[in-house]
Amino acid sequence: MYKYRLVTPGPVAVSERVRRAMAEELIHHRAPGFQPVLRDVREKLKQLFQTRQEVLLLASSGTGAMEACVSNLLSQGERAVVVRAGKFGERWAELCEAYGVRPVCVDVEWGRAVRPEEVQAAFEAAPDARALLVQASETSTGVFHPVRELAEVVHQKPGRMIVVDGISALGVHDLPMDTWGLDALLSGSQKSLGLPPGLAFVALSQIAQAALKESTQPRYYFDLRKELEGQPRGQTAYTPAVSLIVGLREALGVILDEGLPAVFARYERMAGIMRAAVEALGLTLFAPESPSFACTALRVPVGIDGGELVRRLRDVYGVHVGGGQGKVAGKILRIGHMGDVDGFDLLAVVAALEMALIDLGYAARVGEGMRTMTRLLRELSSEKE
Amino acid sequence: MYKYRLVTPGPVAVSERVRRAMAEELIHHRAPGFQPVLRDVREKLKQLFQTRQEVLLLASSGTGAMEACVSNLLSQGERAVVVRAGKFGERWAELCEAYGVRPVCVDVEWGRAVRPEEVQAAFEAAPDARALLVQASETSTGVFHPVRELAEVVHQKPGRMIVVDGISALGVHDLPMDTWGLDALLSGSQKSLGLPPGLAFVALSQIAQAALKESTQPRYYFDLRKELEGQPRGQTAYTPAVSLIVGLREALGVILDEGLPAVFARYERMAGIMRAAVEALGLTLFAPESPSFACTALRVPVGIDGGELVRRLRDVYGVHVGGGQGKVAGKILRIGHMGDVDGFDLLAVVAALEMALIDLGYAARVGEGMRTMTRLLRELSSEKE
């Protein structure tokens, strides 16, 4: 009755076009035919990152790129301010601990964005802290942190670095790396790029590239010095994930053909429409003040089991949304807007949500979510005509 | 005129069947539909590794799995005997140095296999060494090391571990992990499995699993403790490379349907036929005494530029073989036998080799390589009838 619709905040649905590109016969990464692919991908990644720096490619999930930033930019015994506002903020702190870096945690209530003053206060309490580690979009809560303002706080003291996990934000929110002075910006393939998981990216400012040489941490596979050295020869340090890189070229082409400003505006509108629709259904947003445009997080109504709701949506209606993770497990739903999903796929999500809620005994405002959504989608189309 | 034929010792040509499987719509790694895939893959990997232990999946190239063995099984200041008989033996030593492990190197002339007595002598000189790090097949020289005998030497002292890089050997040579008592066996996706690069595998003996808990190295993405903990719930610690795992199920199915003994016998025969063919052409083998069945290494004739020969084979005849790496750059060729290549593809390699050698002024024994090869291929088919 229902197709499988993948609308978690990642991994996301991969378009037919990208899957076909990846299904072509494999070429060797040292073959002349692969060099133009890699050059093209590198050039386009720079555009996506809005940077003049090289964007390094890693064969790993996004966590590998987070680890690379910690192990390459910080040394044992050093301190780093960590914004801990969700599961991925916790991951920064865990990574610091694994590498003997002392995290100075700014603990933020889940669902709220950090305030620049909170980070400022943390740096005042830890004036020797070398870096701020933060998510742009905290995927576990659906919050977007004020990256631009945080960069300003960090750069009040020269030499301090802001390291930004852009895993679900890059290609969704405007994150101009060079203009905002981000020292490290990282991302993964299975979010806005609409690829399968298995590729990660990191770009480093001049300051971060200098820090690279100072770190005394053990590292090999994620040694970014080697990746930077290989760049002029168009080589990755180890065997790259060739098929994913071939898909990446296709995916980047789609994004850059649409144009970054149009992409960002589309996400902003789609996220706004989704928030309006779920509120019209009678639901409460989990991160109303500073929502990420990559995914919409909403509270599971009191009396409903969130795990049951996620399962019902997925197993009865084919709509695979994200549930809550960590301390909000069972309490929130997260609807992703990235990857190969269109306005009617997202309408299906709202319809399924209404149906599943009624199944579970919740008095949803029948039809209101869909009505709001189609009205706003129609307005958007009219504007474009 | 000529199709692209990928016959390096990895990455290798990926079959249409596997590429189609990977081109299916992406499912989320937490979706119920992915659980049977993962269960199936894990069960089949155990068969491939010939072990009762769990085989852990990493989203990385094979080097990531090598690093995982060093950082999880050894601590700073400890010693490990390293067989350094090629580029990948050098990588073991570099990994040790990166993690403050003191390598005790058994340096072996490139093209020769290590002798068990040499390893025995190294352990006598370093009685506190905790492990032996060795390749099964040293891909850079085309040598197969005597893993079974090395395991016996290692286990003369209880608690010592043998860590085997099976990247181009697993699924090619018989490497029964449990029977031979291998403590860690690792591999990658882009060799005998015939997948694109981006997945790596590690299995650990009970002794290695105990060592895991003792290591004091910093590690996070490659923390095998977390991977082992997630196993009972069917979870990887971080987002897995979903599309490659879907392809892996297909690839493992093909191998296990053929049956491991038949697969090993086929590689042994194919490698033998290739060695006979290149010798009939007048060429000299680089690793005649203990050749790997994964790839055939041969010396570039005196007076011929090896780099030029590789380029000519690839750019004129579409035959992409491996050249020499490191200290044998320009001096050897390596012909891979893994992945989606058949007897006639390998015949094309021999034909192209003859043609390219003549182009470059070498007096090849015209037709002798092909004659030998077709005779031996025909004998093989007759035996099977």
pLDDT at B383: 87
Picking from A32, A94, A242, the nearest residue to B197 by CB comes out as A242
Q: What was the ipTM of the complex prediction?
A: 0.90
Q: Which of B28, B60, B243 is facing A320, going by the closest CB pair?
A: B28
- Tokens, residue A72: 């390459």
Structure tokens of A317?
Answer: 């209606």
DSSP for A279-340?
HHTT--BSS-SSB-SSEEEEEPPTTS-HHHHHHHHHHTT-EE-EE--GGGTTTEEEEE--SS
User: With the C-alpha atoms ordered A247, A251, A256, A257, is the resulting torsion angle positive or negative?
Assistant: positive
Residues of chain A with Cβ-Cβ distance to B32 below 8 Å are 314-315
For chain B, first and last CA: distance in Å?
Answer: 34
Q: How confident is the model at residue A364 (pLDDT cuts 50, 70, 90)?
A: confident
pLDDT value of position A385? 80
Query: Which tens digits make up the pLDDT trace of A202-233?
Result: 999 999 999 999 999 999 999 999 999 988 88
Residue of B nearest to A62 (CA): B239
What does pLDDT average to over chain A? Answer: 96
Question: Which residue bears the tokens 């593809």?
Answer: B345
Q: Are strands A102-107 and A79-84 parallel, antiparallel or unpaired?
A: parallel
pLDDT of amino acid B78: 98
The number of C-alpha atoms within 13 Å of B328 and in the hemisphere containing its C-beta is 24
From B10, B12, B94, residue closest to A220, measured CB to CB: B94
Burial of B13 (0-12, 13-18, 19+ CB in 10 A): buried
Nearest CA to CA, how far is B13 from chain A (Å)? 6
Tell the burial category of A159 from Cβ atoms under 10 Å away from its Cβ (0-12, 13-18, 19+): exposed
Q: Report whether pLDDT(A376) > 90.
A: yes
B-chain residues near A33 (CB < 8 A): 4
Comparing C-alpha atoms, which of A370, A374, A293, A372 is closest to residue A335?
A293
* Mean pLDDT on A124-128: 97
Give the single-character DSSP code of B220.
S
Q: Across the interface, which of B26, B71, B94 has its CB nearest the CB of A11?
A: B26
Cross-chain CB nearest to B220 (options A4, A25, A95): A95
Distance CA A110, CA A4 (A): 30
- Phi, psi torsion values for B200, nearest 5 degrees: -135, 160
Strands B137-138 and B143-144: antiparallel
Q: According to the model, what pLDDT value does residue A230 have?
A: 87
Q: Which of A33, A98, A196 lies closest to B243 in CB terms?
A: A196
Report d(CA B322, CA A1) in Å as an integer: 51
- Across the interface, do B241 and A198 touch by the CB < 8 Å criterion? yes
**Residue B377: is its pLDDT beyond 90?**
yes
The pLDDT tens digits for B102-160 are 999 999 999 999 999 999 999 999 999 999 999 999 999 999 999 999 999 999 999 99
Q: What is the mean pLDDT of chain B?
A: 96
Most B-contacting residue of A57, A61, A165 (CB-CB within 10 A), to test interface: A61
Helices A343-359 and A260-280 pack at an angle, to 10 degrees, of 20
User: 3-class DSSP state for residue B121?
Assistant: helix
- HEC-encoded secondary structure of B272-315: HHHHHHHHHCCCCECCCCCECCCEEEEECCCCCCHHHHHHHHHH
For A176-210, the pLDDT digits (tens) are: 999 999 999 999 999 999 999 999 999 999 999 99
* Phi, then psi, of B169 in degrees rounded to 5: -110, -35
Q: Which residues contact A19 (CB under 8 A, 6 or more apart)?
A: A247, B22, B23, B24, B25, B26
Say whether B11 and A4 touch across the interface (CB within 8 A): no
Nearest residue in A to B68, CA atom: A221
Distance from CA of A65 to the nearest CA of B (A): 9
Mutate to test the interface with A, among B26, B34, B74 (most CBs of A within 10 A): B26
Cβ atoms of A249 and A108 within 8 Å: the answer is: no
Residues B353 and B278: their CA atoms lie apart, in Å, by 9
Which pLDDT band, with edges at 50, 70 and 90, does B364 fall under? Answer: confident
pLDDT tens readout for residues B71-89: 999 999 999 999 999 999 9
B120 Rama class: left (phi>0) / alpha (psi -120 to 50) / beta: alpha
What is the interface size between A and B, counted as CB pairs within 8 Å?
181
- To test the contact with chain A by mutation, choose from B3, B12, B17, B28 the residue with the greatest count of A C-beta atoms within 10 A, namely B28
Average pLDDT score over residue span A94-122: 98
CB atoms within 10 A of CB A120: 18
Burial of B228 (0-12, 13-18, 19+ CB in 10 A): middle
Q: What is the pLDDT of residues B190-224, one digit of tens each?
A: 999 999 999 999 999 999 999 999 999 999 999 99
Q: Is the predicted pLDDT of residue B266 greater than 90, yes or no? A: yes
pLDDT score of B1: 87
CATH superfamily of domain region B5-11+259-384 = Aspartate Aminotransferase, domain 1 (3.90.1150.10)
Contact A147, A180 (CB under 8 A): yes
pLDDT of residue B44: 98
Distance separating alpha carbons of residues A336 and B241, to the nearest angstrom: 19
Residue limits of CATH 3.90.1150.10 in chain B: 5-11+259-384
CATH 3.40.640.10 in chain B, residues? Answer: 16-257
**Radius of gyration of the CA atoms of chain A, in A:** 21
A60 chain-B contacts, CB cut-off 8 A: 59-60, 64, 221
Cβ-Cβ contacts under 8 Å, A221 against chain B: 60-61, 63-64, 67, 222
Q: Which of B18-54 are b and which e, b meaning 16 or more Cβ less than 10 Å from the residue's Cβ?
A: bbebbbeebbbbbbeebeebbeebbebbbebbbbebb
Inter-chain touch B33–A4, beta carbons under 8 Å? yes
- Cα(first)–Cα(last) distance of chain A, in Å? 34
Residue A283 near residue A289 (C-beta atoms within 8 A) = no
Tokens of A29: 């990464």
Distance from CA of A318 to the nearest CA of B (A): 10
Tell me the per-residue pLDDT of B287-341, one tens digit each, with 9 for 90 and over.
Answer: 999 999 999 999 999 999 999 999 999 999 999 999 999 999 999 999 999 999 9
Whether the CB-CB separation of A179 and A260 falls below 8 Å is answered with: no
- A251: which strand partners? none
Give yes or no for residue A235 having a pLDDT over 90. Answer: no
Q: What is the token pair recorded at B383? A: 């035996």
CA distances from B10 to A28, A242, A326, B18, B320 (A): 8, 12, 40, 16, 11
Specify the CATH number of the domain B16-257.
Answer: 3.40.640.10
3-state DSSP call for residue B82?
Answer: strand
Over 90: is that where the pLDDT of B233 sits? no
User: B308 Cβ partners below 8 Å, 6+ apart?
Assistant: B360
In the numeric block, which tokens belong to residue B172? 């090619």
pLDDT at A285: 98
| pLDDT number for residue A233 | 83
